[in-house]
Amino acid sequence: MISIFIIFAIFILFNINKLTNSLCLQKEIPEEKHAKIFRTINVLITILLVSSYIEILFT
């Protein structure tokens, strides 16, 4: 079960990063802010995925 969830998490992170890149390009956000935006979104998505895994694990 954990391997399926890890594959799912990688797929989600990859797609979120693609969407974040599209957002940065569309809104013409300066290059200096890209790293901070990606870091923030990746941390938040990782927290969401970990909490989802813990909820599934204990349900």
What's the pLDDT score for residue 5? 92
> Which residue from 4, 16, 5 is spatially nearest to 41, judged by alpha carbons?
16
The 10s digit of each residue's pLDDT in 22-52 is: 999 999 999 999 999 999 999 999 999 999 9
pTM: 0.87
Q: Which tokens is 23 given?
A: 């957002």
pLDDT at residue 59 tops 90: no
What's the pLDDT score for residue 1? 79
What's the pLDDT score for residue 2? 85
Q: How many CB atoms lie within 10 A of CB 6?
A: 12
> Which residue from 56, 44, 58 is spatially nearest to 6, judged by alpha carbons?
56
CA atoms of 50 and 9, how far apart (whole Å): 9
Sort residue 57 into left (φ over 0), alpha (ψ -120 to 50) or beta. Answer: alpha
